[in-house]
Structures are given as C-alpha cells and as structure tokens.
C-alpha cells in the first residue's frame, strides 16, 4: 500500500499522464485557464442589470468573441449556468442578442424594491441635484457646501430619514443594513473608510469629493468602495 501511495504522489509531482500516454505538466498560466463549474446562489430566470458598459461574450473568458456590448442598466436573464475562468465568475445570460457570458462583477440582481423605495429614489434625486456644489467640512450643511457624509445625510433627512450617519465612522448604525453588490439600487450608500457616496442608478454615483472638485457625479465602475449600505 505504501508503494502505491508513493507512486501516486510521484505522478502528481511529475505531471499528469493523458490519454495518449504522454506526460502533461501544466504551467501556472494554463492552470489559471482551467474552467471550473461552480454552483450559483441564483436560479435560472433571475434578472440582472449591467452596472456599466459590459461585453457579453461567446464563452467565459475575455479572449472570447464579443456577442454584444450592453449599456448601463440593461436587463438580461440568467440561464442558470455559472463558470469560473480567467479570473472572473461568468454568468450565462440571455436577451435580445441571444445568449452569451458576462462577468458577474459588473451585474446587479434586479429585485422588487418593495415598500420604501420611494424615499430612496427621492434621496438619490436630491443628492444628484447638488452636483456642482462646493465642498467644505467646516461649512457642510448646504449653505452652500457639503462634505461626503453631510450630502448623504441631508439627502435622506429631506426624505424623512434623519438617522443616517453624519460621519463615516458611525457606519453602520440601526438606520442602515449592509447589502451585496448584486442588490444595489438608486439611493444605496457606497462606503469606504473615510468616504461615502450614493448610487444613482444607470451606473452613476454622486459624492462630495474634496475642496478642488466639490460635488461630482462619477461612474460606478471607477468609484472605490468596500461596503454597500441600504437605508431602512
């Protein structure tokens, strides 16, 4: 038995014998390209929307032919197949273009927003209307400037939700809950240490950046965050 184990370990060390009898030693690059099927938490028929401009490809890798390029917030249907390859998890999706593969990194699940979505939309619209305003930490209550936290706080205060944190250090509190990227919708708060912004939909984020830039609307794809919070 010990000899058998030794031989198996030796073969694993040397390489893998293929069907023709030759030995295959995969390189690191080849190993990275090996496709692994993975179970998805989503069922077939789940709707997703693109977070930004997104290529749908014939196969699950960036070297595969592009079937179509989606704009922001284009809805596609998940077919139930999830594949990990080329450094991404790829969802098989369908739409008017037919069928193809898209990176799940740039997709969000389309969910029924349910009760309460109106105040989040109101907050997003209010915050977006402040684009072009000045930035100030000393005078941050909208006369006429904001900092990142006060912009988000005041957007929700005027929407009837006054308990959203007024500083990034207080996230999360009882007024918010953490959600996943696939659930993101207008009004959700993008947080990283020392900074917050608000997702507007259509692949856009509004945030009070700094004294030089003031309040700006940026693309979601280029906005750095570590957590997403939804106001309850």
What are the pLDDT digits (tens) for 35-57? 333 345 678 988 888 888 999 99
Can you tell me the distance from the alpha carbon of 119 to that of 187, in angstroms, rounded to the nearest whole number?
8
Which of 35-44, 129-138, 159-168 is the least confident region?
35-44
pLDDT score recorded for residue 143: 81
Can you tell me the distance from the alpha carbon of 28 to that of 74, in angstroms, rounded to the nearest whole number?
36
pLDDT score recorded for residue 109: 77
| pLDDT of 131 above 90 | yes
Can you tell me the distance from the alpha carbon of 101 to that of 212, in angstroms, rounded to the nearest whole number?
41
Mean pLDDT of 187-194: 97
Domain containing residue 140: CATH number = 3.90.1720.10
What are the pLDDT digits (tens) for 1-34? 443 344 344 434 434 333 333 333 433 333 333 3
- The 8-class DSSP code of residue 28 comes to H
**What domain range includes position 62?**
37-110
Q: Quick check: is 88 in a domain? A: yes
Q: Quick check: is 13 in a domain? A: no
Can you tell me the distance from the alpha carbon of 223 to that of 192, in angstroms, rounded to the nearest whole number?
10
What are the pLDDT digits (tens) for 139-148? 999 989 999 9
Q: Of 90, 110, 130, which marks where a domain is finished?
A: 110
Can you tell me the distance from the alpha carbon of 159 to that of 6, in angstroms, rounded to the nearest whole number?
69
Which of 52-56, 93-97, 106-110, 195-199 is the least confident region?
106-110
Describe the chain by its helix, strand, coil percentages, rounded to 5.
25, 35, 40
* 104, 193: one domain: no
Query: Which stretches of the chain are DSSP H helices?
Result: 2-14, 28-33, 117-128, 148-157
Residue by residue, what is the 3-state secondary structure of 99-130?
Answer: EEEEEHHHEEECCCCCCCHHHHHHHHHHHHCC
DSSP SS3 for 214: strand
């Amino acid at each position: 038995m010990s000899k058998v184990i030794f031989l198996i370990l030796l073969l694993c060390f040397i390489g893998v014998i293929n069907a023709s009898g030759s030995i295959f030693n995969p390189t690191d690059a080849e190993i990275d390209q090996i496709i692994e099927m993975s179970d998805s938490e989503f069922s077939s028929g789940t709707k997703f929307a693109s977070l930004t401009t997104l290529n749908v490809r014939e196969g699950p890798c960036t070297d595969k032919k592009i079937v179509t390029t989606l704009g922001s917030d284009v809805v596609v249907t998940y077919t139930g197949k999830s594949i990990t390859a080329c450094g991404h998890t790829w969802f098989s999706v369908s739409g008017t273009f037919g069928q193809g593969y898209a990176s799940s990194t740039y997709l969000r699940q389309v969910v029924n927003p349910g009760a309460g979505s109106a105040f989040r939309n109101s907050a997003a619209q209010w915050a977006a209307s402040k684009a072009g305003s000045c930035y100030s930490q000393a005078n941050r209550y909208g006369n006429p400037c904001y900092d990142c936290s006060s912009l988000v706080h005041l957007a929700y205060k005027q929407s009837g939700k006054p308990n959203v944190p007024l500083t990034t250090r207080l996230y999360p509190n009882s007024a918010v809950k953490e959600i996943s990227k696939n659930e993101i919708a207008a009004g959700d708060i993008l947080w990283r240490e020392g900074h917050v912004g608000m997702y507007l939909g259509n692949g856009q984020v509004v945030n009070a950046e700094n004294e030089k830039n003031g309040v700006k609307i940026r693309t979601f794809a280029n906005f750095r965050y570590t957590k997403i919070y939804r106001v309850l």
